[in-house]
């Protein structure tokens, strides 16, 4: 069952969220976006052109750290590689987080040069998550420009390990470090303002490995072949039935093996992503994969002519697991988001997705994931693009949401 979070009885007065724009300093921060959209776009291009493959985010992290420090925010790197900037609140015993992941899905050597065509930018990673990181930088500049003092301390975080086999390691480390004080998390992931993710989609990533002695394609023909076994098992697995409800999916994303076309390989492997709204379905699919790989190995051995030349071994290992969870419809954080939507004239639908918000949601901590404005497409492909039209709305929406849950200190009379 997903863990459902509930509104904290100690949350700042959330009913005031709709009145935030009445605050002169909040208005100053909102106005900052209007006059600095070009700067935000330039930072997005700059960050995107710094490669950040899985487990290789350090160069991009250093650049973001420098930009946050340049803005005047106290900032440091944690041992996991996350960039953490702190805006201290009146109440330093309670923390809210706004985060954007640094990493991309693209391997080292990918051409990440940004090509511009008017308001449109094209490059791998430009939207996911160049948009989120640029928005994080903009939010920091806006609140510091306006001299905003929150009630709760706000941490501005550029985290690692969101994509692929990163297994949300950055957010896991953050939540582990601040859990005792952590009240809410807002994740900036990609573009748009049309959605809010309040339901965490659970997933597992698995790798199947089959090994054998290997040999020559001619002289050793007939010995058990790991690739043959993998293909046999894969065909079985892709015929596994999955329900439409609860929605459940699987994807064979990578297949590797062999050294040359005229060699019987000594190993073959594949990587599988399975996702479901149901933990039971995840467990069933994982079990099905193991059974199918075992059957594929068995079928290959049974059909081999030269069994005496060696046997096959197999294993299926868990590469990563993302937990599920769900935000209460009555949560203070969702109320803050709805108040922000109302102010900027936006309507957003609730979605289920797999993001950094999975970790806090699975632990009963209020969390959402939202787009950072503008429009994008082609995510996780070399044709990825981003159009900054509508970016200002996304930035204002994000700022009002985070201030709605953190609260803003009253200005002292002079």
The predicted-structure confidence for 303-340, as pLDDT tens digits, reads as follows 988 777 889 999 999 999 999 999 999 999 999 999 99
Give the mean model confidence (pLDDT) for residues 228-246.
Answer: 97
Q: What per-residue confidence (pLDDT) applies to 307? A: 76
410, pLDDT greater than 90 = no
SS3 for the chain is: CCCECCCCCCCCCHHHHHHHHHCHHHHHHHHHHHHCHHHHHHHHHHHHCCCCCCCCCHHHHHHHHHHHHHHCCCEEECCCCCEEEEECCCEEEEEEEEEEECCCCCCCCCCCCCEEECCEEECCCCCCCHHHHHHHHHHHHHHHHCCCCECEEEEEEEECCCCHHHCCHHHHHHHHHHCCCEEEEEEECCCCCCEEEEEECEEEEEEEEEECCCEECCCCCCCCCHHHHHHHHHHHHHCCCCCCCCCEEEEEEEEEECCCCCEECCEEEEEEEEEECCHHHHHHHHHHHHHHHHHHHHHHHHHCCCHHHCCCEEEEEEEEEECCEECCCCCHHHHHHHHHHHHHCCCCEEEEECCCCHHHHHCCCEEEEECCCCEEECCCCCCCEEECCCHHHHHHHHHHHHHHHHCECCCCCC
270 pairs with which residues across the strands? 208, 255
- Angle (CA) 316 237 303, round 5°: 85
Q: Which of 347, 54, 321 is nearest to 200 (CA)?
A: 321
User: What per-residue confidence (pLDDT) applies to 140?
Assistant: 98
Q: What is the pLDDT, as a whole number, of residue 10?
A: 36
Which pLDDT belongs to residue 306?
78
The residues near 184 (Cβ < 8 Å, ≥ 6 apart) are 96, 97, 332, 333, 365, 366, 367, 405
Average pLDDT score over residue span 194-204: 97
Beta strand pairing status for 215-216 and 385-387? unpaired
Mean pLDDT of 18-44: 95
Instruction: Work out the average pLDDT over 357-374.
Output: 98
The pLDDT of residue 26 is 97
Q: What is the average pLDDT score of the chain?
A: 94
Band of residue 368 on the pLDDT scale cut at 50, 70, 90? very high
Percent of residues, the chain, with pLDDT higher than 70: 95
What is the separation of C-alpha 131 from the centre of its chain, rounded to a whole number of angstroms?
13
Contacts of 61 (CB under 8 A, 6+ apart): 77, 81, 82, 83, 102, 158, 160
Task: Determine the pLDDT at residue 126.
Answer: 98
Average pLDDT over residues 372-390: 97
Q: Which two tokens stand for residue 387?
A: 């159009």
Reported confidence tier of residue 17, pLDDT bands at 50, 70, 90 = low
What pLDDT shows up at residue 412?
66
Q: Is the pLDDT of residue 18 over 90?
A: no
Q: What is the pLDDT of residue 25?
A: 96
**Model confidence, pTM:** 0.88
CB atoms within 10 A of CB 294: 16
What confidence tens digit (pLDDT) does each residue in 38-71 have? 999 999 999 999 999 999 999 999 999 999 999 9
Query: Taking the chain, what is the end-to-end CA distance rounded to the nearest angstrom?
Result: 53
Q: β-strands 349-353, 195-200: how paired?
A: parallel
Q: Kind of pairing, strands 195-200 and 366-370?
A: antiparallel
pLDDT confidence of 13, banded at 50, 70, 90? very low
User: What are the pLDDT digits (tens) for 66-102?
Assistant: 999 999 999 999 999 999 999 999 999 999 999 999 9
- What is the pLDDT confidence band of residue 6, given thresholds at 50, 70 and 90? very low
Res. 11: pLDDT tops 70: no
Q: How confident is the model at residue 345 (pLDDT cuts 50, 70, 90)?
A: very high
């Amino acid at each position: 069952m997903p863990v459902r979070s509930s509104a904290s009885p100690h949350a700042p007065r959330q009913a005031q969220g709709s009145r935030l724009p009445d605050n002169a300093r909040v208005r100053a921060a909102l106005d900052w976006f209007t006059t600095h959209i070009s700067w935000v776009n330039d930072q997005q291009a700059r960050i995107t052109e710094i490669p950040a493959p899985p487990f290789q985010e350090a160069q991009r992290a250093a650049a973001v750290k420098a930009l946050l420090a340049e803005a005047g925010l106290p900032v440091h790197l944690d041992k996991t590689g996350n960039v953490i900037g702190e805006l201290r609140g009146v109440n330093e015993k309670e923390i809210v987080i706004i985060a954007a992941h640094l990493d991309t899905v693209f391997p080292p050597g990918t051409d990440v040069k940004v090509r511009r065509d008017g308001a449109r930018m094209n490059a791998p990673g430009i939207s996911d998550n160049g948009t989120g990181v640029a928005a994080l930088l903009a939010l920091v500049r806006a609140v510091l420009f306006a001299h905003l003092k929150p009630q709760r301390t706000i941490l501005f975080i550029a985290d690692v390990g969101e994509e692929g086999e990163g297994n949300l390691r950055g957010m896991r480390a953050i939540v582990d470090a601040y859990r005792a004080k952590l009240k809410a998390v807002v994740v900036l992931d990609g573009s748009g303002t049309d959605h809010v993710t309040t339901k965490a989609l659970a997933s597992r990533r698995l790798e199947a490995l089959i090994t054998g002695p290997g040999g020559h394609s001619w002289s050793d023909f007939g010995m058990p072949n790991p690739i043959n076994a993998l293909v046999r098992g894969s065909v079985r697995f892709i015929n596994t039935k999955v329900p439409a409800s609860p929605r459940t999916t699987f994807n064979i994303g990578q297949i590797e093996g062999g050294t040359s076309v005229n060699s019987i390989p000594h190993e073959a492997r594949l990587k599988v992503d399975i996702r479901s709204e149901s933990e039971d379905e995840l467990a069933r699919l994982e079990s099905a994969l193991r059974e199918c790989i075992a059957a594929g190995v068995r079928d290959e051995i049974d059909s081999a002519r030269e069994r005496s030349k060696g046997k096959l071994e197999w294993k299926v290992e868990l590469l990563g697991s993302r937990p599920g969870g769900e935000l209460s419809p009555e949560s203070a954080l969702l109320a803050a988001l709805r108040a922000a939507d109302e102010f900027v004239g936006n309507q957003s639908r609730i979605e289920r997705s797999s993001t950094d918000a999975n970790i806090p949601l699975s632990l009963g901590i209020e969390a959402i994931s939202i787009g950072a404005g503008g429009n994008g497409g082609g995510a996780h492909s070399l044709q990825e693009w981003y159009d900054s039209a509508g970016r200002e709305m996304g930035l204002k929406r994000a700022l009002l949401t985070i201030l709605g849950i953190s609260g803003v200190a009253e200005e002292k009379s002079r």
